[in-house]
Chains A and B, each alone.
Chain A
Amino acid sequence: MIAAAVYLFGGLAALATLLMIFQKNQVKAAMLMLAALLSTAGLYLALSAQLLAALQIILYAGAIMTLFVVALTILPSAWRDRPSKGRFSKVLGLAAAAVILTELLKVSAILKTVPFLREFSETGTLDLARALFGRFAFQFELLSLVILASIVAAVALTSKRGAV
C-alpha cells in the first residue's frame, strides 16, 4: 500500500520534473514545478509525515512558488525567448546527471536488504515538537538568524542605493 503510494507520487514528481526540462514557456514550467512540489507533499503523506506534508504545501508550494511567479512577473527579460545552448554541453550535462544517478543507485543497492517497516500511522507531532524545541533548540534558533540574514540580504540587494 505504502509502496504503491510511493511509486505513484514519486513517479508524478519525476514526470513533472522531466517535462519541466523540455518546457519552453516559463509559466508552464513554474506550474510543473508546483506539480512536482505537490507530489512531494503526497509522498510525505505516504510516509506518515503529515506535518511535513503540510509544511511542504505551505512553504514550498505556497511561499517559494509564489515568490518565483512574482519574480517572473517582475523580470521582463525572463519572458524573452532563450537561445538554445550548444548541443554538446546539453549532452554533457545530461550525461553527468546520468552518471551521478547511476552511482547513487549503485550505492543505494545495499538498501534492498533493509526492510521499510514503518506503517501508516499518525504523525508523532508531540515527539517532533519535543525534538525541535528540546534537542534541536539551538539549531532552531539559528534558523531564525538564517532567515533574518536572508531578509536583510534580499532587501539590501534589491533596494536602489547609490553605489551597488
Chain B
Amino acid sequence: MSAYPLAAAAFVLFALAAAGFLTCGSLVRMLMFLELMLNAANIALVALGPETVSQAYAVMLFAIAAAEAGVGLALILALSSVFKTLEPENIKELKG
C-alpha cells in the first residue's frame, strides 16, 4: 500500500472538520471542530513522517491541543458571561 490512503484520510478528516467549523452556529461547537482539525494534523504527522521523530512531535502536539482546549473553553466561559450568547453571529462588538 502506498502512503496515499493515509494522507487522504488525514486530509479528509481535516476538510470535514473545517467544513463543520465554518457552518456551525455555536462557539463551543467551533472549538470542538478545531480540536478535530488538530487531531487530523496529528494523524498526518504520524502517518507520513519518519517513525520516531514524528511520534515525538505527536506527543508534543497532544500537550498543545490540551492547553489550547483549556484556554479556549476558559475564553468561552468569559465571553458567555459578557455577551450572554454564544452564537458568533450575534457577537458584533467589533463591527465597522
Contact = CB atoms under 8 A, between A and B. Distances in A.
A112 B7 CA distance: 10
Contacts of B76: 71, 75
Contacts of A7: 5
B16 A82 contact: no
Given A98-B15, A100-B18, 11 more contacts: A10-B8, A36-B36, A56-B62, A67-B69, A71-B76, A82-B25, A85-B25, A101-B12, A104-B14, A105-B11, A147-B67
Interface of B: 1-9, 11-26, 28-29, 31-33, 35-36, 39, 42-43, 46-48, 51-53, 55-60, 62-71, 73-78, 80, 82, 84-87, 89
Interface of A: 2-3, 6-7, 10, 13-14, 17-18, 20-21, 26, 29-30, 33, 36-37, 40, 43-44, 47, 49, 51-52, 55-56, 59-60, 63-64, 67-68, 71-72, 74-75, 77-78, 82-85, 89-90, 92-94, 96-98, 100-101, 104-105, 108-109, 111-116, 118, 123-124, 127-128, 131-132, 135-136, 139-140, 143, 146-147, 149-151, 153-155, 157-158, 164
